[in-house]
Amino acid sequence: MPTLHSDLPYVKPTPHPESRFMALTSNCDDMPTLFVDTHVPLDVLYDTASYRIRAVTQVLENLSMRGSIECESFILSDFALLCAIPLRDGCDVLDVVGRRLRARASE
């Protein structure tokens, strides 16, 4: 059986703008695993944010067109979290776009 080696000590990444990668707010703990590459072209960042926000918007619009929806409160809570995660990711990416545009305007 192979010997297991312990992982290297975790070093928390430096937040944007000192680092190329910005941790998403939706990471579930202090050891982020999901990041935005802040050096990606602006149109790609915008498309990424737009895709996430529009997906949640479509789901919520479809839900609002239904009649009465009966469900338990924990189901609504889970559904809200399901919607909040991609919305927060989209907002985080839009924050990067805004920072880049402001930096470009001040040059």
Task: Provide the domain count of the chain.
Answer: 1
> The domain containing residue 78 runs over which residues?
39-105
pLDDT at 15 over 60: no
- Please report how many Cα atoms fall inside a 13 Å half-sphere around the Cα of residue 70, on the Cβ side: 0
* Residue 44 covered by a domain: yes
**Segment 38-84, tens digit of pLDDT:** 999 999 999 999 999 999 999 999 888 877 777 778 788 888 899 99
- Other C-beta atoms closer than 10 Å to the C-beta of 10 total 8
pTM for this prediction? 0.75
* Residue 21 covered by a domain: no
* Residue 9 covered by a domain: no
In angstroms, the CA 48 to CA 65 distance is: 26
Selection from 25, 30, 34 nearest residue 11 by Cα: 30
